[in-house]
A and B are shown apart, each in its own frame.
Chain A
């Protein structure tokens, strides 16, 4: 009986830990779609790119602390995101059928990023060191401090994001544009600049997620795709454009992932995610908290 309870505790804690990183990447994707109505197919590659940037800082400028690495990478990601909006998305938005065109263009961009990573870093996988060493023991379960730190940072980031969206002028403008892009434009919001910022913030969240995933798993040129798909499934379950939906869906799917991993094996994780997606679409295509 005791081991049974412990297994459930392990599954739950493992799920929340896995989910905490997923929250970050899903929040970035959801925010971007909510405000700009764009689905960025290069998101997975940007995530990997963030991890590789951190890897460069930590291993090439030897001795840089992990935390400083993160602080340096995030502004880089922000401007990269804004650059993508300015150079690729903005020229496309002015024409008809831009939705599909942006999807295709960002897919092309993902290919370029993947190949650049392959050219510069080679096909071998890289691992980032954990943020904090050491383990903690709670009631017989061994938990790494690092994963708790990730959970803490995720919560902090989500609180900052929430304050930004509800209390600052820019954040409120973003929510206004998310509700009605044309209306926002009429009342004098510079939507073009706002889209740039949103792209930047979303890329920062991707980069942060990439750095954390780089320590938990490893970095490989095409590794970001899996997390892009996972982020999408989380967003689909939570409801596209809904941040709190993404938060809850990330935890749910994190727990599903760790139980599948625990009960039938890691190979089944991706098929399980896919199955969840199909079930969501059949039962509730709007997602848990989706308005439309």
Chain B
């Protein structure tokens, strides 16, 4: 059973959440809470694109944060060095992430999943060294890169002073990216992957070219991660090689696992839970990472389907109730 968010019944549910998120800034004035929401929007799109390749295309990639970082640096560098608009910078950041994704993907997507996992993880871990080496092109070397220009529309500048406009920008961009992911899952691509997963030899025999599909989806997913990375860099105004530390990747991995692989809205919802949980666990400092690690192991052993399955059932029940009421009226 595939959960289709754009079915009539589910549309009510999705729109309810959307409206809630849209009117949220009128109630919440705290800049801190808005910041967490903005981060959640950015990261949930990254996780959705990650789920697309891990959960649907069956590519065990650990490179998602590396592509996010490449996009962030790509966008920051192009807009700082060449003075072009940050909006174009974001697109260039996405393209640079996609290019790196294809360079990595073309040799290794033919190989077994294990290789893909390790090659992408190697990319993640060696990116710090590349950032150090990239000092001549403006990565800032071992220092963090500061003074990244803020986004602007016309003469209006999205500063951190007033987070409400950027909240809506992040919400819009995140929704677009998640919608793209949804569209791919329910396109012929998604069907090809489902076929490959369920009956690999048969699908190949009727001419589904797994490698081609994987390459394309891997490139798209890298680009989406890169775009979100670019947006992030212009929002925060400061990026460093700490992005490719272990903090962020583990955090999003937890979200991906808790959400359930290949259970589309699950990972997005889980990102909301995990990012907020992470912020509220922050006072625990080093112990926070231990708790996250335990959550990863416990959930992979006890709940391999993730909360995605749980949400699917719950959402179906809820929308069914609403649907029944509407019919009754």
Q: Which range holds the interface residue count of chain A?
A: 35 or more
Choose one: A39, A111, A267, A277; the contact of B114 (CB below 8 Å).
A39
Q: Quick check: A115 and B115 within 8 Å, CB to CB? A: no
Minimum CB–CB distance for B222 against chain A, Å: 16
Stretch from A50-58, A143-151, A208-216, A226-234 at the B interface: A226-234
Which residues 9-32 of B sit at the A interface, judged by CB distance below 8 A?
none
Alpha-carbon separation in the docked complex, A276 to B289 (Å): 32
Are B293 and A281 in touch, CB under 8 angstroms?
Answer: no
Instruction: Take A104-B257, A116-B290, A119-B286 as given contacts and tell me if A226 and B115 are in contact as well, using a CB distance cutoff of 8 Å.
Output: no
| B287: interface (CB < 8 Å) | yes
Over the window 97-109 of chain B, the binary record of Cβ atoms lying under 8 Å from chain A Cβ atoms (1 yes, 0 no) is 0000001100110
Give Cα A88–Cα B107 distance, bound, in whole angstroms: 32
Q: Does A107 contact B (CB under 8 A)?
A: yes
Can you name the residue of chain B whose Cβ is closest to the Cβ of A95?
A: B304
Q: 1/0 per position for A80-99, CB-CB distance to B under 8 A?
A: 00000000100110010101
Q: Is A124 among interface residues, defined by CB-CB distance under 8 A?
A: no
Q: Known A114-B246, A277-B119; judge A270-B286 contact (CB<8 A).
A: no
Residue of A nearest to B123 (CB): A274
Interface flags for B257-295 (1: CB within 8 Å of A; 0: not) read: 100010000000000000000000000001101101111
Q: Quick one: closest A residue to B247, CB to CB? A: A111
Q: Does B113 interact with chain A (Cβ within 8 Å)?
A: yes
Closest B residue by C-beta to A240:
B114
Would you give 17 A-B contacts (Cβ < 8 Å), ordered by A?
A39-B118, A88-B297, A100-B113, A101-B304, A104-B300, A105-B297, A109-B297, A110-B293, A116-B290, A225-B125, A229-B121, A267-B132, A271-B129, A271-B130, A274-B122, A278-B104, A285-B110
Measured in the bound complex, the distance between the Cα atoms of B114 and A226 in whole Å is 18
For the A-B complex with A41-B121, A108-B296, A232-B118 known, give 12 more contacts whose Cβ atoms are closer than 8 Å: A39-B118, A95-B304, A105-B301, A107-B296, A108-B292, A111-B246, A111-B296, A112-B297, A222-B245, A277-B119, A277-B122, A278-B103
Contact of B169 with A by CB under 8 A: no
Contacting residues, chain A, for B130 (C-beta < 8 A): 271
B250 contacts A107, C-beta separation under 8 Å: yes
Is the beta-carbon distance between A118 and B286 smaller than 8 angstroms?
A: yes
B136 to chain A, nearest CB (A): 12
Pick the contact of B287: A39, A97, A115 (CB < 8 A).
A115
Name A232's closest neighbour in chain B (CB-CB).
Answer: B118
Q: Establish whether residues A282 and B107, one from each chain, have CB atoms under 8 Å apart when the complex forms.
A: yes
- Tell whether A206 is near chain B: CB-to-CB under 8 Å: no
Chain A residue with Cβ nearest B251: A111
Residues B129 and A112 in contact, CB atoms below 8 Å apart: no
Complex contacts, A95 vs chain B, CB 8 Å: 304
Q: Are B300 and A222 neighbours in the complex by a CB distance under 8 Å?
A: no
Contact residue among A101, A105, A111, A118 (Cβ-Cβ distance under 8 Å from B292): A111
B117 within 8 A of A: yes
Candidates B103, B107, B246, B301; contact of A91 at CB < 8 Å: B301
Interface assignment of B137: CB less than 8 Å from any CB of chain A: no
- Please give, as numbers and ranges, the residues of chain B lying within 8 Å of A271 by CB-CB distance: 126, 129-130, 133
| Residue among A41, A100, A236, A268 making CB contact with B115, cutoff 8 Å | A236
Chain A residue nearest to B130 in the complex (CB):
A271
- The total of Cβ contacts below 8 Å across the A-B interface reads 119
Determine whether the beta carbon of A103 is less than 8 Å from that of B60: yes
Contact B290 A273 (CB under 8 A): no
Instruction: Return chain B residues, CB-CB under 8 Å to A233.
Output: 122
Chain B residue numbers with a CB within 8 Å of A119 are 286-287, 290
Given contacts A109-B297, A112-B293, A267-B133, contact A226 B125 (CB under 8 A): yes
- Cβ-closest 8 pairs across A and B: A108-B296, A112-B293, A270-B129, A111-B293, A115-B289, A281-B107, A108-B293, A274-B126
Report the minimal beta-carbon distance from B226 to chain A, rounded to whole angstroms. 19
Q: Which residues of A contact B296 (CB under 8 A)?
A: 104-105, 107-108, 111
> Which residues of chain B are near A97, meaning CB under 8 Å?
304
- Contact call B117/A281, Cβ cutoff below 8 A: no
Q: Which of B287, B297, B304: most chain A CB closer than 10 A? A: B297
Q: Which of B54, B108, B245, B261 contacts A281 (CB 8 A)?
A: B108
Bound form: Cα–Cα A100–B250 in Å? 15
> CB-CB contacts of A239-280 with B at 8 A, as 1s and 0s?
010000000000000000000000000011111011001100
For residue A103, which residues in chain B have a CB less than 8 angstroms away from its CB?
60, 117
Q: Contact: B113 with A99, CB < 8 Å?
A: yes
* Interchain nearest-CB distance for B224 vs A (Å): 21
Inter-subunit contact B294/A108 (CB<8 Å):
yes
Tell me how far the C-beta of A284 lies from the nearest C-beta in chain B, rounded to whole angstroms.
11
- Checking A39, A268, A285 against B111 with a beta-carbon cut-off of 8 angstroms, the contacting residue is A285
Give the CA-CA distance A107 to B252 in the complex, in Å: 13
The contact of A267 among B60, B111, B129, by CB within 8 Å, is: B129
